[in-house]
Structure 1
Amino acid sequence: MVGTRWKKVVRRCLGEMHRELKITFTPVPTGKRWVFIVGCYNSGTTLLSEILSTHPLISGLTTEGQFLTDQFPSDHILGLPRMWVRREDLYRLTEKDEGPDVARIKKEWGMRLDLSKTILLEKSPPNGARTRWLQKHFEDAHFIAIIRNPYAAIEGISRKAEPQHLKDGWPLQDCARQWVRSNEVIEEDSHYLDRFMWTRYEDIVEKTTAELARILRFTGIEERWNFDPQKPFAVHERNEPIKNMNMQSLRRLSREDLEIINGIAGKHINHFGYEVISEPLLRVAS
């Protein structure tokens, strides 16, 4: 009928019913070790997740867990792509908070995981703001926090986020605040976690074999893994072997960009073990 959307509405309703049926008949995963990869956006969480998901004892979700459940706020749906810092109140959870339906989350993730595997892997950058809550509700939870050169991470957020309500994207100041706050919260909450480790993007891409061995030992996997560091991985817009992409991002930053980043993140850059950059590198086309 003119002026109605019956086909669209019916299709959406049937999709929701099908999803609820799958959730209904999916068992709540038990007796598993949950491993959560957390970190600021554009810090290598996807790359690390893709790598670890190829291990024969690990089953990883095909996309971020935040997009596969209706129990956590989705940054994209809220108009906050790669920018949860603007509404930290919606994302920050500790063991004292109630709200999300734990059984439903486990089912929503579990129906997309291979439950015959020993380790279940999830990665969502916003989960860095709720590690304490996750530890309370997910058995044997392990947390791997990844950090990356701040200039590369901040430039990537600015370039990739694409908030639809802002023509020129997020201001660089906000991107710098997102890097600072992401790592601040993770560090603050790590003191409450029983099983937590830091890793660096730079170590994963430059010392791949050694760093992966260290990460696997942390997760409880002692067996030797013959991982091929030359294997191509599809990460966002690229499909190529593992390599350090920092320099491409750094070369896109002007002197003014560096001043903005340093003004907001300067002391945090040193605190997390990186060097402050004041002079721009040779620029490349975006």
Structure 2
Amino acid sequence: MKGRDLRTLIASPLDLRRKKILCEDICKQRPRDADAWCYLGYVCGRLGLPEEAVRHLQKALSLRPDHVDAWNCLGNIWLDNDRPAEAATAFERAVSLQPSHAGALANLGRALGALGRKGHAMNCYKRALELDPDNLPALNNLGQAYHENMRYDKALACFRHAARLAPEDPYVYTRMGTLFRTTGQFDAALEAYGKALETSPGLIDAIAGLAATQLAQGRHEACLEFIDSLDENRKLHPQIAIIYSGLCHRFGRCEDALRLIRTILAGSKLDNWSQVQLHFAAARILEIQQHYGEAFDEYECANRLKRCNYDDAGTRRLYDSIKRVFTRELLGRLPRASRHDERPVFIVGMPRSGTTLVEQILDSHPGINGAGELPDIGQLYPRFIRQYMPAYKEVKSDLITTQALDEMAGLYLERLDEIASRATRITDKMPYNFFRLGLIELLFPGARVIHCVRNPMDTCLSCYFHDFQGSHDYAYDQTTLGSYYRQYADMMEHWRNNLSLPFLEIRYEDLVENTEEMSRKLIAFCGVEWDDRCLSFHENRRFVATSSKEQVNKPIYRSSIGRWTNYAARVEPLRQALGELADS
């Protein structure tokens, strides 16, 4: 066969298995043809034969180390087989050989995103789109990255561009539907999921998205009817079972939901994520039924599956460094950003400590906008440390100028303008801003800080019982959870003694038992006039994106106070780790 025969084979409509046989013949006849080995590796990858694919691609690269397509294809094989570090190395090699390769750049972004390097991933997608504005993978992945960063308008622009390029692609509309659902635009979400299902009626992501939207709307009967209409195979899909588990107690179907979950868990091999979700779902049902021992078993199983190598000592070193550097003396002599903007209100504390309830009450005031958990300070903070306090070992005080602080503060304040330009106050309830308060004081001299506190046992157990998304590595083991809580408490004690920003501490239990008194205290602290709508926060139609949405859309939620006592016999490791704080 000649070189043109390989090109003919690539372009032919033959099925992949036939192509594999013919390409193997080409490789036997021309064993030093790197292109043939590369294509054979690609075909094997498409056929789900990763080991063969890697072997053939490495053969191509041994013949021609600068074979861009072979590096790119090898990266895809690694990425598809959960080896993002190797994938990133391969894609980086492809990009270094051909910087204008938009596809390799987009793929590098995917690998970096899988490694948690989200900012670098976004830069790759943007560079790919500069080279090829119609690169579909880059558009979809950049849209997803914007979605995760709460840049919803930019995410929607990416998805709409992708939909124009691929109007028959159901995945584009599914992503769009999920974006609309996240932002509470439920009718638009249902329309987008509907378009996806027109093209691909069996697409489970769209089916589950549609059901989840109905559930989020509070259309429980419609959601149940929709799930009941599905065939048995689709009901046995983990996503559908998890949505059903959120409905079952309303219709007396808890046992049916448990049976479904256990059938799925006992069946075919599931990915780790699905197993975790299903065990958490089973635990929630059993807790509703007051079968606390069985519920704890399920929560424990879910956490065991999620458990990772949390670096407790590393976190302790980090927090000790922050406390050592951000002292009252240092904060007293460093400059501040020049703009005294009173809009920012930072709601901090441990996750599951009542931050969502506080924000919902404040957002019910017509002059206050609840922005949710903004990632922006978390993105500015490492940049500030790198530039001005490298590794917390030195403070480059002479470089920390008003101009430098203004530039950083401006990025955040521009974001607030995008969210609600006319609001008098805007809340940011990212809990982990609690260790970034030193920077917040420098950037926002007009800001206020609300610290949410809840019974430590209830707080920690609620974390242990919650299926967090993102980085909460400490939360999956009782001992590390208690240790982390102690470090958080030490950090907040440090800020009480060293911050000069207005600081209000709100106990969740006080807010529940004395709602009006504490709500008035919150509103007064924010410096705005009282409004009676703050007492009807559960009627606020604002969409809450966090896991506390069901609680804050009801009148005051009391059942979580003392929740830990139902599990007293099972939480001794947590009590030991908390020490004296367990009874505070």
Unaligned runs of 5+ in 2: 1-9, 11-41, 43-72, 74-102, 108-134, 158-338, 383-389
Q: Which of 52, 58, 63 in structure 1 is aligned with 2:368?
A: 58
Matched residue SS, 2:375: helix
Partner of 1:223: 530
Q: Which residue of 2 aligns with 1:8?
A: 137
Partner Cα distance (1:68, 1:134) in 2: 8
Q: Which residue of 2 aligns with 1:110?
A: 417
Structure 1 counterpart of 2:514: 207
CA distance in 2 between counterparts of 1:120 and 1:165 reads 25
Are 1:264 and 2:573 counterparts? no
The alpha-carbon distance between structure 1 residues 227 and 166, as it changes in their structure 2 partners (threshold 3 A), is closer
1:68-107 equivalences under 5 Å are 70-71=379-380, 101-107=408-414
Q: CA deviation at 1:72?
A: 5.2
Deviates more, 1:144-153 or 1:101-110: 101-110
Report the counterpart of residue 221 of structure 2 in structure 1. Answer: none
Question: What is the Cα deviation at residue 171 of structure 1?
Answer: 0.5
- Relative to structure 1, the CA distance from residue 13 to residue 214 in structure 2 (aligned partners, 3 Å threshold; closer, same or farther) is closer
1:37 alignment counterpart: 347
Identity of aligned residues (%): 20
Residues 181, 163 of structure 1: CA spacing in aligned structure 2 closer, same or farther, 3 A cutoff? Answer: same
What SS does structure 1 have at the residue aligned with 2:380?
Answer: coil
User: In proportion to residue count, which structure has more strand?
Assistant: 1
Distance 2:471 2:517 in 1: 43
Give secondary structure in 2 for the equivalent of 1:120. strand
Aligned to 1:244: 558
Which one has more relative contact order, counting CA pairs under 8 Å at least 6 apart? 1
Deviation sequence 1:16-52 (CA, Å, 0-9, x none): 79849x9xxxxxx974332111111110111111221
Pairing of 1:113-124 with structure 2 (within 5 A): 114-124=420-430
Q: Please report how far the alpha carbon of residue 247 of structure 1 lies from its aligned counterpart in structure 2 after TM superposition.
A: 4.3
How far does residue 143 in structure 1 lie from its aligned partner after superposition? 0.7
Question: What corresponds to 1:80 in structure 2?
Answer: none
Matched, 1:138 2:444: yes
Q: Distance in 1 between matches of 2:575 and 2:449?
A: 29
Q: Secondary structure at the match of 1:41?
A: coil
Q: Which amino acid aligns with 1:246?
A: S
Shift of 1:55: 0.6
| 1:122 partner amino acid | D
- 2:529 and 2:139 mapped to 1: Cα distance? 51
Give the structure 1 partner of residue 161 of structure 2: none
Q: How much has 1:188 moved relative to structure 2?
A: 1.1
Q: Classify 1:108/1:155 alpha carbon distance in 2 versus 1 (closer, same or farther; 3 Å).
A: same
Answer with 172-181 or 98-107: which moved more: 98-107
Does the 8 Å CA contact 2:340/2:446 hold for their aligned counterparts? no
State the secondary structure of the residue aligned to 1:56.
coil
Matched residue SS, 2:346: strand
Looking at structure 1, the residues matched to 446 and 507 of structure 2 have their Cα atoms a distance apart, in angstroms, of 23
Whether the 8 Å CA contact 2:450–2:506 is kept in 1: the answer is yes
Tell me how far apart the structure 1 counterparts of residues 433 and 491 of structure 2 sit (CA, whole Å): 10
Deviation of 1:249 after TM superposition, in Å, equals 3.0
Look up the match of 2:433: 127
**1:46 partner amino acid:** T
Largest Rg, 1 or 2: 2
Check whether the contact 2:347–2:451 (CA below 8 A) recurs between aligned residues.
yes
The alignment partner of 2:493 has SS state of helix
Assess, with a 3 A threshold, how the Cα gap between structure 1 residues 72 and 166 changes in structure 2: closer, same or farther.
Answer: closer
Name the SS for the 1:199 alignment partner: strand
Q: What does the per-residue CA deviation read over 1:113-168, in whole Å, with 9 as the maximum and x for residues that have no partner? A: x121211211111001111210110131111101001111111111114478999x
Tell me the amino acid that sits aligned with residue 38 of structure 1: V
Q: Does structure 2 retain, via aligned residues, the 8 Å contact 1:59–1:120?
A: yes
Q: Is the 8 A contact 1:95 1:132 kept in 2?
A: no
Q: What is the Cα deviation at residue 267 of structure 1?
A: 1.6
Say whether the 8 Å CA contact 1:135–1:141 is kept in structure 2: yes
- 1:224 deviation in Å? 4.8
Q: More helix per residue: 1 or 2?
A: 2
**C-alpha spacing 1:13/1:48, structure 2 compared with 1 (3 Å):** closer
State how far apart, in whole Å, the 2-side matches of 1:11 and 1:166 are. 26
Are the counterparts in 1 of residues 341 and 447 from structure 2 also a CA contact under 8 Å? no
Kindly report the root-mean-square deviation, in angstroms, between the aligned alpha carbons of the 2 structures. Answer: 4.1
| 261-270 or 117-126, which deviates more | 261-270
The SS at the match of 1:243 is: coil
